[in-house]
Structure 1
Amino acid sequence: MRKTFLLVLLLIMSSAYAQEQKKVNFDEQFKKENQGKTKVEIHEVKELLHIMIAITEVGLENDDMVQQSGTYYQDVLKQFKTFKNEKIIGKFDSLIKANAVNYVLITGNGMSYDFKGNKLVPDKNYIFPAQSVSSHTTVKTNIIKTWKSDIENFAEKSGFRAFYKKHIPYYKTLISQYNTTANLDEQWKWLEKNFDTRVNNYTVLTSPLINSLNYTTSYHDNGFLQILMVLPPLDEPQGRTEKENTVYNTRVMFTEVDHNYTGAPLKKYTELINESLKEREKWVNVKQEGIEYYPNPIRVFDEYMTFAVFYLYCADKYADDSPTVAYAYRDVNEIMKQRGFIKMKEFNDELLSLRKKYPTKKIEDLYPDLLQWCKMQ
């Protein structure tokens, strides 16, 4: 199951979110409270759903879908595993086994409800946020609404709300790490200085139980654009300096955030992109697992840009710190090569060269020159 789920994640990241039913309601109060702000949250109902999935048969077997290391996971097993035979757990298990993307359609709709006592009440702003994962994987009814009574019964029987309250200090620690290490506000300001795209709000939903799942979606209503990202907690691996660790963790978030900026000009340059990257084997290792989810020049170019722009950000942020810039350069080039993007180093070098040549231009205005370079490869 582990390998299968990793492939599904790539589908999630490339998904098209069809506007079939109203997803959100950004009223004037919501707009006023969220304009120009970032938020990192461990949403209570969403966390309940992650816990419920963690004790399904498929969740217990899959350490890519569920983060199974650490004391928090052990706390979850200690309190909730005894309820794994509840009807609703079996239902979630069967849904995910039938189609792994149901993991997203279950947890992604968690924010559409809030607790009021032991009952779930509809959220006034998030109506039905997760309706599709790709053009061929959609749901017409909110799964949380369908199984609302069973979810309420599970939460009450298992003592979930007390568990959540007990762990709030730990949740706050994870949120604080995001705010101090990844610094989404700084990324946002840099991107809007360097691109024409404008976003009204960024929200990150995380959970100690998320492992390999990263995805981004956007909601637009009433003239308000929110980018919502689902990300795992920040990592603190051994063997890195404090700045290297910041670069490493920032990359995970930044390369989700900047898709909203690097992708915006693609339509304008579609014909040139298709011509410049038409020889696929020059740009990707076609034998690399997962590269098939970047099937055309547009997708390939955007992925190159996403990571190259992150390197430009690091080059600006750490302009007086050459060892950290060098680490960011190696990190980006190595991870992309591993993923099958074989010309990342050359692409990075060319974009940086153009940036130095035209320091006052927006990054998207460098696309034509960059694509002419691509065409000559």
Structure 2
Amino acid sequence: MRKLLLLTALLFALTPVFSQHIEDTLSTVYWCPNDTFKIRFKDEPKLSIFTASRKDKISPGTDAYPGEYVVFYFGNDSLKVNYHNNLPYAHNIYLNFASPKGKTTLRFHFNYRTAHFSNEYIIKHKDRVRYDIPEVYELANIIWTLSPSGQRSEDPYKTGDYYQRVVNYFKPWMNHPVFKQLNFPDSVVAMEYYNFRENSFAFNIDGKAAAKGKVKLLYNGPYYYVFGDELADSSLFGRLKPLVEDFANKSNFRKFYRENKSFYDQQAARAEKLLPMRAMWQWLEKNFPNNKYQSYRVVFSPLIGGSHSTQRYSTWQGDVRFGENVMFVCGPERYDSSRVLSEKQKEGLYSGVVFTEIDHNYVNPATNKYAKKVDSIFSQRAIWTIRSSSADFYGNAVSVFNEYMTHAAFCVYVEDVYDAATAAFVIGKREDMMVDRRGFIRFREFNQELLKLYRENKDKPLASFYPQLLEWCARQQ
């Protein structure tokens, strides 16, 4: 009869390594006759085989989920190991065992999570597109825009009635200590902007505190990572959370947010009208058929200028994956403020903001198949980018190519779905921006080559053109 060794209370080594990352070591030495384990995860009937290596540090593991566990079978024994259920943090467990080869240690890891979507969340948001200005996210945008770094920077959108309402309302609290923490050298201000702004998205306002008129920020999902090298609670925003809460309470931020809620709702409705997300979604999955997502969310602020980003998240339910793409973009006022643009031109230009964030989630995985070829071509950066331009933000050859490809894919989409005059206008604006403003100096030629390939092979998905396009790129050297 198989003996079950149940691991419930741990152990003697508890060392936070990464935020609240846990390291546990079992003191018992288990006998394994051949260094080979059969492993079964929760909700997975199939057993996997793992042979411990005595030469390298490879180890088995799975993602951390509530109630997750693993059962090891070895010899006549078995051992159940539970995740510590402290989402989203990682949990590493070290198992000491002996075999005819001697003693060694097996490391098992429950990986930290960037997000976790409950069954209720998945049911509610599957096959949906949302457009919104989250309350904590807008709080972060207001603080950054009013900060010394935000005031010096050209990036926040400091134009229009809404910006003036922000300045007028929060002027009495401009000496708050949070602003002293947001004064960065110009060399790092862009990264710290994302670090503060984007990571605020992982926090929610505590409803119980709000009922008492207080702002308390909770790090309780479903998102746990947004930007940078750390989980959001260890990010710049996470570290400044006490000051952010204090500023929100002293300035009565929630009163300002309520007073502007109708404006936010109007902006969300306008964004939905100008951003045909479902059409983009379907077009991208047709042209990059190996990538599928089940939900989209457009997050924006009226205070964002030209700094946009995207993040993708997923949760597995057995063998079924629920994937969500989140885009962080500017508001529609950037385009509605123009008196010369037609409605279709506004739609095309604004769609480019979101499309070129969405399609990174399709282009980047497709590029990985050709990474060595891309690296050999685009590592010669002088051919493809200008030094001391915004292109310098893209630190390696693959990221430079992906930026070329995402914007060119947008131009193919535009030619596919808009009338010829609107398409020519939007594509021309995109080429001008990439070459003249961003420093991707061969974008016009690259874009026209991809358009040519697509026109000649409209029955094929865009992802199939990588070999021909990269051959063209190689000839440019």
TM-score, length of structure 1 as denominator length: 0.83
Give the direction of change, closer, same or farther, for the CA distance of 1:158–1:271 in structure 2 (3 Å limit).
closer
Judge conservation of contact 2:195–2:237 (CA < 8 Å) in 1: no
Rounded Cα–Cα distance in structure 2 between residues aligned with 1:141 and 1:256: 25
Change (3 A) 1:372 1:208: same
Deviation at 1:74, TM superposition (A): 1.2
Note the alpha carbon deviations across 1:342-374, whole angstroms, 9 max, x for none. 222222222122213222211111111111222
Q: Deviations over 1:258-293 (max 9, x none)?
A: 111111111211233234445543333x34523333
1:155 corresponds to 2:248: yes
User: What pairs with 1:63-142 in structure 2 (closer than 5 Å)?
Assistant: 63-64=154-155, 66-90=156-180, 92-94=181-183, 100=189, 101-111=191-201, 112-116=203-207, 117=210, 118-120=214-216, 122=218, 124-126=220-222, 128-130=224-226, 132-133=227-228, 141=234
Contact 1:243 1:324 in 2 (8 A): yes
Residues 1:184 and 1:221: Cα distance change in structure 2 (over 3 Å): same
- Measured after TM superposition, the shift of residue 78 of structure 1 is 1.4
Compute the displacement of 1:228 (Å). Answer: 1.6
1:368 is aligned to 2:467: yes
Match of 1:351 in 2: 450
**Does the residue aligned with 1:169 lie in a helix, a strand or coil?**
helix
Deviations 1:211-252 (A, max 9, x none): 232111222333322222211112222322222222111111
- Corresponding residue of 1:206: 300
Identity %: 28
51 and 115 in structure 1: CA distance in 2 versus 1, 3 angstrom threshold: farther
Higher RCO (CA 8 Å, separation ≥ 6 residues): 1
Question: Greater helix share, 1 or 2?
Answer: 1
Residue 191 of structure 1, CA deviation:
0.7
The farther-off stretch of 174-183 and 113-122 is: 113-122
- Any idea what SS the aligned residue of 1:93 has? coil
Larger Rg: 2
Q: CA 1:305–1:104 in 2, change beyond 3 Å: closer, same or farther?
A: closer
> Does 2:325 align with 1:227?
yes
Q: Secondary structure at the match of 1:211?
A: coil
Distance 1:129 1:298, change over 3 A: closer
How far off its partner does 1:210 sit? 1.6
| Aligned pairs (5 A) from 1:226-245 | 226-234=324-332, 235-236=334-335, 237-245=338-346
1:216 to 310, 324, 337: 310
SS at match of 1:265: helix
What residue is the counterpart of 1:315 in the other structure?
Answer: 415
Distance 1:126 1:366, change over 3 A: same
Q: Any idea what the Cα deviations from partners look like across 1:296-327, whole Å, max 9, x if unmatched?
A: 44223222211111111111102xx2211211
Which residue does 1:4 correspond to in 2?
none
After superposing the two structures, state which structure 1 stretch, 99-108 or 241-250, moved more: 99-108
Count of residues paired in the alignment: 352
Matched residue, 2:432 = 334
Change (3 A) 1:163 1:278: closer
- Tell me, which stretches of 5 or more residues in structure 1 are unaligned? 1-17
Query: Does 2:259 match 1:166?
Result: yes
TM-score, structure 2 as length reference: 0.67
Across the aligned residues of Structure 1 and Structure 2, the Cα RMSD in angstroms comes to 2.8
- Contact 1:128/1:142 (8 A) holds in 2: no
Structure 2 Cα separation of the partners of residues 375 and 139 of structure 1: 40
Deviation at 1:165, TM superposition (A): 0.9
More strand by share: 2
Task: Report the secondary structure of 2:138's partner residue.
Answer: helix
